[in-house]
Chains A and B, each alone.
Chain A
């Protein structure tokens, strides 16, 4: 079975500050890991994904995430927050590529303040 834990349901940062959203996973096989972003009243947009290639993954909008097997973590970071980054962020895991279901974490709502 696979699962995802996102620590912190709400994170607030100042504009220009570092964004760090935490994700820990559990998987019985080498995982595929994803970060999705959901803006208010919209669907899920892929930010980035890890599929066993480079452990540091770069995504859209300046976000990146590092896969750390020893820590079973896949934290999302961005060096400098922008007001437009305010959204809900979901970490997800699947056990293989195309066919497997995604198991999502409970999400982290990012607030960016002036």
Chain B
């Protein structure tokens, strides 16, 4: 099973601040995804990323969100101006063999 790490594991930020969540797949992969899970709710798709471009995004993924793979290894999710409702667990996933494998998540708390 591919290994995916995410940093930081926890982040607390003030409303309106920018946050960057990072995902580091150990091996080279082409397909990346971000999902989020608001406390007590189901896991929701945010965005998929293939060949350095967004391939699909949900209605949650509005203009305050962006993704990039700046150095060919890290895969980042940026939230430009955080809102209280952005508090959630954010999961990165990579795809291999038709299966998505998830990182341990970053718990984001917006105050």
Is A46 located at the chain interface by the 8 A CB criterion?
Answer: yes
From A97, A98, A100, A104, contact of B42 by CB (8 A): A104
**Shortest Cβ gap from A92 to chain B (Å):** 8
From B50, B91, B93, B101, contact of A99 by CB (8 A): B50
Q: Are B102 and A44 in contact (CB under 8 A)?
A: yes
Query: What is the chain B residue whose CB lies nearest that of A48?
Result: B99
Is A90 located at the chain interface by the 8 A CB criterion?
Answer: yes
- Chain A 42-77, CB within 8 Å of chain B: the 1/0 string? 111110010100000000000000000000000000
Is A34 located at the chain interface by the 8 A CB criterion?
Answer: yes
Q: Are A101 and B99 in contact (CB under 8 A)?
A: no
Query: What is the chain B residue whose CB lies nearest that of A43?
Result: B104
Is B87 located at the chain interface by the 8 A CB criterion?
Answer: no
Is A107 located at the chain interface by the 8 A CB criterion?
Answer: yes
Q: Are B102 and A101 in contact (CB under 8 A)?
A: no
A107 to B89 CA separation, bound complex (whole angstroms): 15
**Chain B interface, DSSP helix/strand/loop, else mixed:** strand
Q: Are A34 and B48 in contact (CB under 8 A)?
A: no
Query: What is the chain B residue whose CB lies nearest that of A106?
Result: B42
**Shortest Cβ gap from A67 to chain B (Å):** 15
* Contact partners of B103 in chain A: CB under 8 A: 43
Given A43-B91, A104-B42, A105-B42, CB of A99 within 8 Å of CB of B48: yes
From B41, B45, B55, B105, contact of A102 by CB (8 A): B45
Q: Are B102 and A90 in contact (CB under 8 A)?
A: no
Q: Are B98 and A98 in contact (CB under 8 A)?
A: yes
A99 to B99 CA separation, bound complex (whole angstroms): 9
Q: Can you identify 17 A-B contacts, CB atoms within 8 angstroms? A: A32-B98, A34-B100, A43-B91, A43-B104, A43-B105, A44-B91, A49-B98, A51-B98, A90-B42, A98-B98, A99-B48, A101-B33, A101-B56, A102-B33, A102-B43, A105-B42, A107-B42
